[in-house]
Amino acid sequence: MENKDFSKKPLVEQVYDELFANIDKHDEFDEGTIKTLRLLAAKGELKKTGRIMGAIKATVAKEDETAGT
């Protein structure tokens, strides 16, 4: 059996890296939101829906404030 060289990063971290790489491509998510989501991931809190929604709603609220000006 051949020994394959897999990434030393845990699978969960690989998934998060891919997730954030995809999120970075969307203008709807500013740097602050992505930073907050990365912090939640690092703390293991990305699975808490309320925390995720809070981070995303903060971005939507900022957009609403700037749209009126």
pLDDT recorded at residue 61: 67
Question: Does the residue 5 lie in any domain?
Answer: no
Alpha carbon distances (Å) from 57 to 33, 34, 52, 66: 9, 12, 9, 14
Per the model's pLDDT, the better-predicted residue between 42 and 2 turns out to be: 42
Per-residue DSSP letter, 43: T
User: Each residue of 1-31: pLDDT tens digit?
Assistant: 455 555 688 888 899 899 999 999 988 888 8
Question: Does the residue 43 lie in any domain?
Answer: yes
Among 13-27, 31-45, 51-65, name the one with the lowest average pLDDT.
Answer: 51-65
The total domain count for the chain is 1
Domain that holds residue 56: 11-19+29-67
Question: Does the residue 2 lie in any domain?
Answer: no
Instruction: Confirm whether pTM is higher than 0.75.
Output: no
